[in-house]
Amino acid sequence: MELTNNTYRIQELDVTEICEQFGTPLYVYDAEKIIHQLRSIKSAFRDTDVKVKYAAKALTNISILKLLKKYGSGVDVVSIQEAHLALGAGFAAQDIMYTPNCVGFDEIIEGVELGVNINLDNLSVLEKFGQKYGDTFPCCVRLNPHIMAGGNYKISTGHSNSKFGISVYQLPQIMEIAEKYDLVINGLHIHTGSEITETDVFLKMAEILFGIARDFPSLKFIDFGGGFKVAYKEGDMVTNVYDLGLKLSKAFTEFYQSYGRKLELWVEPGKYIVSEAGYLFVKTNVVKPTPSLTFVGVNSGLNHLIRPMMYDAHHDIVNVSNPTGSPKIYTVVGNICETDTLGSDRKLSEVREGDLLAIKNAGAYGYSMSSNYNSRFRPAEVLILNGEAKLIRRRDTFEDLLRGQIDVI
Ligand code: LLP
């Protein structure tokens, strides 16, 4: 989104007009930015056979999935429902990586029936998989490297107390099961967390994976997960994807030369691809000065964007309606009946009731984590594609709130 001649625009389109057309609260995604991010990963890893598996959970809208497919991405899914969505979006089963955690074995069976790549992260599940499929269907193993990394504890998945992955210290048990059932282990996977800024964390993961990989002769790929961080505010640390691509590709090439066969390098970014492409546009319902603060109360809240309350995440906010207004300090809150701060102590151009605000970095884990809490409607979603604003999900209606409910009284 750019400010030109006092007007905020995405791909030349005036965002205020978009919001007038589709109403607020409104999620808007810039397709160009999404494609740009995908391309930049491919270009950073150009020295190797990189396969991008977009982490669908970040933003699951079918049009976004189709867009990414069109530009050559594969997809990472974590539930059988996401697997069905990915197939529905046209992804070939072999381009889908299915990484469930703590699911019933029936969901693994369904994954096999769909023909997607299966990633297992539990010894008992590996044993069941061996009993049922032996060497007839390959699987990947998700490892827990005992590395603490990621933006905060809630989004760190590779440390020793995390529920994810099979500990690298349990490698002997993995080998025992693999030998017992003749398992065809075609991949090794680590996803250590979200918002990892240091290239070194990925290189450390690589060292661990390469050390282990030599014991697995049927590998086709090694998957380094996602977790590339983008800027949420000015001056934020980000993952230097070019540095990462260069160094990881080099280490990877050296590794597979000694492994004796070319392997694919997989990555599963979610935030990196869609975070910055998305905006949540909200309308100011009230401006409420109190003896201590001035609140801006908007027509949204934690039901639409839970990240600030759940992870203390910072999302930049701008006043679209009054870009040149004199700056004042506000606390931006939603209309939900519990504390739902979207941004504390923010310097915004003077906010008047009725003003349109944009909440940035709302593309990843925004709509996909939204809910109908307080029986409010989830927003509509719009994709700006080739200079046109296209509705890709309509706003909820009252019928949606009752859908599925059964009145027994
Ligand atoms: N691969 C696997 C197996 C994952 O579990 C995840 C994210 C990713 C890839 C993509 O991670 P990303 O590149 O988006 O960081 N709701 C949280 C983030 C949770 C991430 C869960 N797993 C947030 O809003 O910060």
Residue 134: which residues within 8 A CB-CB, separation 6 or more?
181, 182, 183
Please report the pLDDT score of residue 142 as a whole number. 97
> Where in the chain do CATH 3.20.20.10 domains reside?
45-270
**Which ligand 1 atom is the nearest neighbour of the CA of 364?**
24
- Cα(349) to centroid(ligand 1), Å: 33
Ligand 1 atom nearest to 270, measured from its CA: 14
pLDDT score recorded for residue 112: 98
The amino acid sitting at 223 is D
Residue 302 has pLDDT above 80, yes or no: yes
Question: How confident is the prediction for the chain on average, in pLDDT?
Answer: 96
Which atom of ligand 1 is the closest one to the Cα of 275?
A: 14
Decide if pLDDT at 192 tops 90: no
pLDDT at residue 222 in the model:
97
Active site residues: 337
- Number of the ligand 1 atom closest to the C-alpha atom of 269: 13
DSSP string, 195-256: -B--HHHHHHHHHHHHHHHTT-TT--EEE----B---SSTT-----HHHHHHHHHHHHHHHH
Around 33, how many Cα atoms within 13 Å sit in the side-chain half-sphere?
22
Cβ < 6 A, ligand 1 pocket = 55, 58, 76, 99, 155, 191, 194, 225-228, 268-272, 307, 311, 364-365
Atom 9 in ligand 1: residue holding the nearest Cα: 226
Q: What pLDDT, on the 0 to 100 scale, is given for residue 136?
A: 98
Atom of ligand 1 nearest to the CA of 369: 16
SS3 at position 304: coil
Task: Give the model's confidence band at 148: pLDDT under 50 very low, under 70 low, under 90 confident, else very high.
Answer: confident
pLDDT of 362 above 90:
yes
Give φ, ψ of 299 to 5 degrees: -85, 45
Q: Give the model confidence (pLDDT) of 226-255 as tens digits.
A: 999 999 999 999 999 999 999 999 999 999
What is the rounded CA–CA span in Å between residue 97 and residue 266?
10
Mutate to test the pocket of ligand 1, among 51, 54, 57 (most ligand atoms within 8 A of CB): 57
Q: Whose CA is nearest to atom 3 of ligand 1?
A: 191
Per-residue pLDDT, averaged over 339-363, amounts to 98
Q: What is the pTM of this model?
A: 0.97
Residue nearest to atom 7 of ligand 1 (CA): 194
Q: What is the pLDDT of residue 130?
A: 98
Q: Please check the confidence at residue 151 and state whether its pLDDT lies above 80.
A: no
The domain defined by 2-29+277-402 folds into: Lyase, Ornithine Decarboxylase; Chain A, domain 1 (2.40.37)
Q: How far is the CA of 380 from the centre of ligand 1 (A)?
A: 23
Q: Which one, of 17, 82, 33, 15, lies nearest residue 53 by Cα?
A: 82
pLDDT at 75 over 80: yes
pLDDT at 334 over 90: yes
Q: 157 C-alpha to center of ligand 1: Å?
A: 9
What's the gap in Å between 325 CA and the centre of ligand 1? 37
Percent over 70 (pLDDT), the chain: 100
Q: How far is the CA of 16 from the centre of ligand 1 (A)?
A: 31
Least-confidence region, from 23-32, 42-51, 160-169: 160-169
pLDDT tens digits, residue range 162-190? Answer: 888 999 999 999 999 999 999 999 999 99
Best residue among 194, 239, 305 to mutate for probing ligand 1, ranked by most atoms within 8 Å of CB: 194
pLDDT given for residue 329 in this prediction: 98
Q: Which pLDDT does position 152 carry in this prediction?
A: 77
Mutation probe of ligand 1 site: the residue of 73, 268, 305 with most atoms within 8 A of C-beta? 268
| pLDDT band per the 50, 70, 90 thresholds, residue 153 | confident
Spacing, Cα 195 to ligand 1 middle (Å):
9
Distance 237 CA to ligand 1 centre (A): 18
Averaged pLDDT, 211-228: 95
Average pLDDT over residues 287-292: 98
Give the pairing type, strands 166-167 and 7-10: unpaired
| Residue 134 confidence (pLDDT) above 80 | yes
Superfamily designation of domain 45-270: Alanine racemase (3.20.20.10)
